Amino acid sequence: MSTIKDIAQAAGVSVTTVSNVIHHRKTRVAPQTIERINKIIEMYNYVPNMSARALVSKSSRIIGVINHLFQAQPISFLQDPFHAALLGGIEKTLRERGYYMMIRTVADEDELYSLFNNWNLGGVILTGLFDDSFFTRLLEANKPLVLLDSYIKNDKIINVGLEDYRGGFMAVQHLIDKGHRNIIFAAPPFHKHGVIEERFKGYRSALRKNNIPFSPGNVYRKELTIDEGIALGLELSLRRDITAVFATADILAAGIITGLARGKRRVPRDISIIGFDDVFFNPIITPPLTTIHQNVVEKGTVAAGIMMDCLEGKEPESRNIVLPVSLVERDSVRDIRGSGR
């Protein structure tokens, strides 16, 4: 098996120069030398020993992507199209710069402690985090942290988030502009200072701006699964007083559409619906779903880029990055102005 010394000897350079090329510190090496070293690495089929490198440098190019969100039903978060797109953005960005990704769902502090004891992670990217005992244990690990969609205020972390409030407001205002006034808010159970709470604030703000009374009976909390969405759609099909639904995730909206159809209620003829995220299946469901768009892949790309920059000693321009949202109109919202409804 070839070693880094073999590569250095064949290329006529020092071990340090080969190490700089392997570690992508290419600004320190002439382009012609980089090309020569890479050709020799390929010829020798040399594969760097990541574990040995981490032991020597006390660092690692392995980035842990931890999920701390649990559904009521036993499904993997990888089955959620939102998380699949997010992970795709993270993995591609890490791979392009010579880093590796480890995916792990962690339920509690004990599992988190075990993870850090058994793996030398360079840094951690997390989804679904709140300011609780789990977060406290996470800080104690003293790892570089990038949080996704978190409203925790702490100068030790970097957050990559979204215009959640604006997205909630935009969705409901669009329905109101189309003549709807009795609008359902459908979401998973939400936590204080979380993304769903922000979207809920946007929902209530749009109602208030248009002098529409808020009704607690119009708030439904369901897990983000197709089955829960279908069950909610069936439940909503029994109501004859509502004309529209704002679902805070497209996967929930898709289930609601199916449930409404089973309850003999059609979208958008009987009930309009708008989602949130703009995942890949929206244009091909029936009807194609109007939704609030966020660039999920970009969110993963930005998070991964910031993490690698931190590990390479670069301070981010901002520790709170907020990505934009936009409205995508398709066929699931009906204009009922002048219809008498």
Q: In the chain, which residues have pLDDT < 70? A: 1, 23-27, 47-59, 69-76, 340-341
Output the pLDDT for position 168: 98
CATH (one of 3.20.20.140, 1.10.10.10, 3.40.50.300, 3.40.50.2300) for 62-162+296-323: 3.40.50.2300
Output the pLDDT for position 75: 57
State the amino acid at position 66 in one-letter form.
Answer: I
Cβ pair 189, 197 in contact under 8 A: no
> Rounded to whole angstroms, how far apart are CA atoms 323 and 299?
8
CATH 3.40.50.2300 domain locations along the chain: 62-162+296-323, 164-294
Output the pLDDT for position 152: 86
With tokens 């497209």, the residue in question is 250
> Rounded to whole angstroms, how far apart are CA atoms 306 and 158?
8
Residue 39 backbone phi and psi in degrees, to 5? -65, -40
The pTM (predicted TM-score) of the whole model is 0.81
> Rounded to whole angstroms, how far apart are CA atoms 191 and 135?
14
Output the pLDDT for position 56: 44
Which residues on adjacent β-strands are paired with residue 187? Answer: 221
With tokens 């808020």, the residue in question is 214
Output the pLDDT for position 285: 92
Residue whose C-alpha is closest to residue 274's, from 337, 203, 340: 203
* β-strands 219-221, 244-247 pairing: unpaired
Residues with Cβ < 8 Å from 325, sequence gap 6 or more?
A: 162, 163, 166, 167, 170, 292, 293, 294
Output the pLDDT for position 23: 67
Burial of 157 (0-12, 13-18, 19+ CB in 10 A): buried
Q: 174: which 2 tokens? A: 């669009």
- Write out the E strands in the chain: 62-67, 100-105, 123-127, 145-148, 158-162, 183-187, 219-221, 244-247, 272-277, 290-293, 320-323, 326-328
pLDDT tens digits, 172-196: 999 999 999 999 999 998 878 889 9
What's the CATH architecture for 164-294? 3-Layer(aba) Sandwich (3.40)
> Rounded to whole angstroms, how far apart are CA atoms 66 and 63?
9
Output the pLDDT for position 113: 82
Output the pLDDT for position 215: 97
